[in-house]
Amino acid sequence: MKAAELAEYPFQPRYMHINGQSMAYVDEGHGPVVVMVHGNPSWSYLYRNLISALRGRYRCIAPDHLGCGFSAKPQDYPYRLHNHIDNLEQLLDSLEIGRCVLVVHDWGGAIGLGWAGRHPERVAGVVVLNTAAFPSRRLPFRIALCRWPLLGPFLVRGLNAFARAATFMAVSKRMSGAVASGFLAPYDCWANRIAIARFVQDIPMGPDHPSWSTLLAVERSLTHLQRCPLLLCWGGQDFCFNDTFYQEWCRRFPQIEAHYFPDANHYVLEDALPAIQPLIDSFLHRVTGGTADGL
């Protein structure tokens, strides 16, 4: 996979060794820092257009979790929630990132806010996009199916059904073939789909799951962000992170600036970026002062 061959992705990845593995990340622009944390089955490609819009005024950092995007895809790695939080922490520490604004989506919510809960003094604000950072007993059947023994690995790793389905089930507006290919490019064989499968398996649905205690710790740490500025931009057509999650964010953070896009889907930036971009611009200007000194 070559970055230059990907539609709408005019970036060259940078690399850092994290626990012996090569972790890729986009680092574009100068100014106040905006850290964008993706989920599953996407990668930093999810934020390509947001980065392009912001890099003239902000420093945009978008890591690829291990197993995703341009990062290494080790076959014997644990791929647990706490590993992803630790990796993000090591990356931002190594880059000497002080205060920043987080943008989180899907699994990026638990990962990014897991880091934020450890370092609330370094968080100037959070942009929340169709995600969660707290437990839920809701697991849609089509995702549960991908966790079944034998069938799950066949669907997710053999057929690439999870990532492929997201290119049309996670959007309301049809993706172009070139953009769909960009989302799928890192996941071109059984071995390279390891993290997609492990993310699905790592969804903690109860106390007996290895990542349950980690997710509870992330939830508890949200109390450290009660006074933090938050912007919520939500796609109302999301079958996974549905309106229940939107309402839960509003309940937990009464001060949140909430915007609901009824026709947008899970990949809300694909469906509604023209409407969301001004909201993010205004939010960033407000929480950073629009200058490097603002953070």
| Beta-bridge partner residues of 106 | 131
pLDDT tens string 27-47: 999 999 999 999 999 999 999
* Nearest Cα residue to 146 out of 137, 156, 159: 156
Confidence bin at 4 (pLDDT 50/70/90): confident
Percent of the chain clearing pLDDT 90 (strictly above): 93
For 189-217, b/e burial (b = at least 16 CB within 10 A) is eeebbbbbbbbbbbbbeeeebebeebbee
Return the DSSP state at 139: -
- Per the CB < 8 A criterion, the answer to whether 103 and 36 are in contact is yes
Could you tell me the pTM of the whole model? 0.96
Task: Give residue 271's Cα distance to chain centre.
Answer: 16
Candidates 32, 49, 43, 70; CA nearest to 199 is 43
Other beta carbons within 10 Å of 167: 20
Chain-centre distance of CA 228, in angstroms? Answer: 19
> How much is the pLDDT for 291?
53
173/175 Cα distance (integer angstroms): 6
Structural domains in the chain? 3-294 (3.40.50.1820)
For residue 258, which of 270, 267, 249 has the smallest C-alpha distance?
Answer: 249
Residue 292's pLDDT band, with cuts at 50, 70 and 90, is very low
CB 60 within 8 A of CB 36: yes
Distance CA 98, CA 121 (A): 9
Q: How confident is the model at residue 293 (pLDDT cuts 50, 70, 90)?
A: very low
Rounded distance, CA 292 to CA 295, Å? 6
Task: Cite the DSSP H helix spans in the chain.
Answer: 48-54, 81-94, 108-118, 141-144, 151-153, 161-169, 177-184, 194-201, 212-221, 243-252, 268-288
d(CA 182, CA 57): 26
If pLDDT is split at 50, 70 and 90, which confidence band does 3 have? confident
Q: Going along 29-85, which residue ranges are E strands?
A: 33-37, 59-63
Distance CA 234, CA 173 (A): 15
